[in-house]
Chain A
């Protein structure tokens, strides 16, 4: 793995490897001393052209816990507001000796361009680009699903085979939904998208998932997890932007409340990538109830991002399948 640009690039084995590594990282985070020396001397640049709280803080925490140097860059207050291009920004960062760039950009494909245009030699991690991809969010969702639902005992090495996940809400604007559909399917889960017809993207029939317009019908089918999506009103013109008649009507049709949570199977969990619009797509009862793992998702985000940074930056090449008897290696 050279870059992490899209959830679609990951094979089942690669994804399981990231989840297993994340589990070991999570174990280190319950210790008194959480910092590891693993990436000492490496530099990670957080390049954020779009607003973000939890993703940026999560990446910053992950890099610092691995002892990497972190440089935060946000478009506001930088030369980008003076009109500097992505290329010139990238060349500047490369000149500063970055080993990895974590990029969030409002344009779909910006991380891909940064990785493949030859401007820098560093590893590129996509932290969300436009309405395209958000692979680390999908990985932390998969990690959370596996931890709760992949069966009793040790879940290391397992995938999500046999699980049914409903992803509900503003699919059209959601890079989280797109990445999750691809990753969860790769891991063997069955995904159903639930949204009003106006918030389903064109071409969704080519995605490896089912689509429904009726939340109650899908919940009656007994999904193992319900993932609520934020209604991205900043990407819609005006209040509902013509995508739905009124917030109240959206809530009635597609909001998760205590009544709907009560229809879920005993073991089912409620997820949300955050930030939540309480009262719109999810009620306070559902968000704070015992089924909700929303806060845990944030904590798992740090472990998953530590795993991604470790796998991209720590080694000198491809991953070995098992750790060898280390003392018997031949010095180069």
Chain B
């Protein structure tokens, strides 16, 4: 596709409109996108991929905005992909992450793109990986991926991001919440945001006490725990430092391979889903499960050709 080649050329030349349109093509998996991927990836500049996740209303967008201001002071060009949920009924979406980021709206060295999750689970959109690659090729570093408001087990972001920041608030719950499996486990850094509220330091202390000693089969470093107040900028410089420091560990060959393994596993699963839903027997299997004549795993095996 000559048109997509032109968009890629413009993207690499720093044209924002070309980048925006390339992101749309990627998001829509437009015809010809696959053909330009080798060139897109070859143009990658090795941006630090930073994931920001946490429950709805914990201040992710405000924190991303505050971090962006800090990175701009340090002369970095910042790319942001902000994911919001899609309606399971209409496919529609309201994306409001920009509201908190309008301070940077007219800054030519900040690029913010909202993406609807479009039915993908885990708090990310399917095209997020490639969108981050496009921002990297366009010269933004870091590239920040803000997930949808995540609960306890939306851990997809840790497969993609090199550094995963989990944002919590002081009222997150008691110590047992801190040691449950899931989201907090995949954090490289945990931020207790809204640090001006009562209980913020206590929550941070509890998290430190419960998470500082990893053992058993866990080999990864326990996460650092920081307190920020995103609206005032308090603690944000220290967070930016911590994110930078983590990049070295994140780029160890073992960690890079582990992320790649998880990404491939996820992609294989996605393709399996698509292959199965396109299968002529899909509806028949659905019917069989609905009538409880068949269990879902056996039905899946039949659709994927593992069993006749």
Task: State whether these chains interact.
Answer: no
